[in-house]
Structure 1
Amino acid sequence: MSTTPSVSVPSDRRARRRVASAMLIGTTLEWYDFFLYGTAAALIFNKQFFPALSPAAGTLAAFSTFAVGFIARPLGGLVFGHFGDRIGRRNTLIVSLLMMGIASTLIGLVPNYASIGVWAPVLLVLLRVVQGFGLGGEGAGATLMSMEHAPADKRNLYAGFPQMGTPAGLVLANVVFLTTNALMPSGAFDAWGWRIPFLFSAVLVVVGLVIRLHVEESPSFSNVVSHQRVETFPLREALRVGVGRMTLTLGLMIANSAVAYVFMVFTLSYGTKQLDYDRSFLIGCVSVAAVIWFATIPFWTGVADRSGRRTMFLGGSVALLIWCLVFLPMLGTGSSVLTVIAFLGMGVIVPVTHSVQGAIIADTFPAPVRYSGTSLILQIGAILGGGLAPIISSALVGESGGSAGVTIYLVIVCVLSLACAAVLFARVPEENVVPVPRADSAAA
Structure 2
Amino acid sequence: MSADTTTVEGSRPDDGTAELGVPRRRVVIASLVGTSIEFYDFYIYATAAVSVFPLIFFAGAADGNESTALLASMATFGAAFVARPLGSIIFGHFGDVIGRKVTLIGSLLTMGIATFLIGCLPTYFQIGLWAPVMLTILRFCQGLGLGGEWSGAALLATETAKEGKRAWAAMWPQLGAPIGFMLANGLFLILVVAFGYNSVEHGADHVFIDWVWRLPFLLSAVMVAVGMWVRVRLEETPVFQRAIDNDQRVKAPISEVFKRNWWELILGTFIMYATYVLFYLMTTWILSYAIGRRESGGLGESYNEFLVLQLIGILFFAAFVPVSGLLADRFGRRPTLIVISALIVVFGLTFGWWLSPENMITDDGISAVRMVAFLMVGMALMGLTFGPMSAVLPELFPTNTRYTGSGVAYNVSSILGAALTPFIAAWLVQSFDVSYVGYYLSAAAVLTTLALILAPETKTRNLDEVTIR
Give the TM-score range, shorter chain. over 0.9
Q: Which residue of 1 aligns with 2:420?
A: 388
Shift of 1:311: 1.7
SS in 1 for 2:392: helix
For the 8 Å contact 1:237–1:436, the answer to whether it is kept is: no
Q: Which moved more, 1:294-303 or 1:79-88?
A: 294-303
Q: 1:242 to 1:86 in 2, by over 3 A?
A: closer
Is 1:338 the counterpart of 2:346? The answer is no
Q: Which residue of 1 aligns with 2:13?
A: none
Q: Which of 31, 54, 59 is matched with 1:51 structurally? A: 59
Q: Which of 135, 141, 154 is matched with 2:152 structurally? A: 141
Q: Deviations over 1:278-312 (max 9, x none)?
A: 21232222222222211221222122222322221
Q: Which residue of 2 aligns with 1:300?
A: 324
Q: Which residue of 1 aligns with 2:37?
A: 29
Q: 1:10 to 1:246 in 2, by over 3 A?
A: closer
Q: Which of 95, 116, 121 is matched with 1:84 structurally? A: 95
AA of the residue aligned to 2:175: M
Give distance in 1, aligned partners of 2:309 and 2:124: 31
Give distance in 1, aligned partners of 2:333 and 2:327: 8
For the 8 Å contact 1:69–1:128, the answer to whether it is kept is: yes
Q: Deviations over 1:218-238 (max 9, x none)?
A: 111111111111111112222
Shift of 1:431: 4.5
Is 1:364 the counterpart of 2:396? The answer is yes
Q: Deviations over 1:328-368 (max 9, x none)?
A: 53132222211110000012111112111221110011111
AA of the residue aligned to 2:49: A
For the 8 Å contact 2:57–2:123, the answer to whether it is kept is: yes
Q: Which of 441, 455, 461 is matched with 1:410 structurally? A: 441
Give distance in 1, aligned partners of 2:126 and 2:140: 22
Q: Which of 421, 424, 440 is matched with 2:452 structurally? A: 421
Q: How does 1:160-309 map to 2 (within 5 A)?
A: 160-186=171-197, 187-273=206-292, 274-309=298-333
Q: Which residue of 2 aligns with 1:315?
A: 339
Is 1:112 the counterpart of 2:143? The answer is no
Shift of 1:94: 0.5
Q: Deviations over 1:8-48 (max 9, x none)?
A: x9538871221112110110000000011000001110111
Q: Which residue of 2 aligns with 1:354?
A: 386
Q: 1:202 to 1:245 in 2, by over 3 A?
A: closer
SS in 1 for 2:121: coil
Give distance in 1, aligned partners of 2:332 and 2:143: 33
Q: Which residue of 1 aligns with 2:9?
A: none
Listed as ranges, the gaps of 5+ residues in structure 1 are 1-8, 440-444
Q: Deviations over 1:60-95 (max 9, x none)?
A: 000111000110111110000000001100101101
Give distance in 1, aligned partners of 2:273 and 2:339: 16
SS in 2 for 1:137: helix
Q: Which residue of 1 aligns with 2:200?
A: none
AA of the residue aligned to 1:58: A
For the 8 Å contact 1:144–1:371, the answer to whether it is kept is: yes
SS in 2 for 1:153: coil
AA of the residue aligned to 1:310: R
Q: Deviations over 1:95-116 (max 9, x none)?
A: 1111111111110110111111
Q: Which moved more, 1:298-307 or 1:91-100?
A: 298-307
Q: Deviations over 1:104-154 (max 9, x none)?
A: 111011011111111110110111111111111001000001110111121
Q: Which of 132, 137, 144 is matched with 2:143 structurally? A: 132
For the 8 Å contact 1:46–1:59, the answer to whether it is kept is: yes
Q: 1:345 to 1:279 in 2, by over 3 A?
A: same
Root-mean-square deviation (Å): 1.8
Q: Deviations over 1:193-246 (max 9, x none)?
A: 111111111111111111111122111111111111111111222234443333
Shift of 1:266: 0.6
Give distance in 2, aligned partners of 1:261 and 1:381: 13
Give distance in 1, aligned partners of 2:445 and 2:193: 37
* Residue-pair matches, total: 428
**Percent identity of paired positions between Structure 1 and Structure 2:** 35
Shift of 1:315: 0.9
Q: Which of 374, 378, 396 is matched with 2:410 structurally? A: 378
Q: Which moved more, 1:344-353 or 1:33-42?
A: 344-353
Q: Which of 71, 84, 105 is matched with 1:94 structurally? A: 105
AA of the residue aligned to 2:453: A
Is 1:438 the counterpart of 2:438? The answer is no
For the 8 Å contact 2:46–2:284, the answer to whether it is kept is: yes
For the 8 Å contact 1:364–1:433, the answer to whether it is kept is: no
For the 8 Å contact 2:97–2:249, the answer to whether it is kept is: yes
Greater fraction helix: 1
Give distance in 2, aligned partners of 1:35 and 1:99: 16
AA of the residue aligned to 2:45: Y
For the 8 Å contact 1:28–1:165, the answer to whether it is kept is: yes
Q: Which residue of 1 aligns with 2:27?
A: 19
Give the TM-score taking structure 1 as reference length.
Answer: 0.92
Listed as ranges, the gaps of 5+ residues in structure 2 are 1-16, 198-205, 293-297, 361-366
Give distance in 2, aligned partners of 1:114 and 1:146: 46
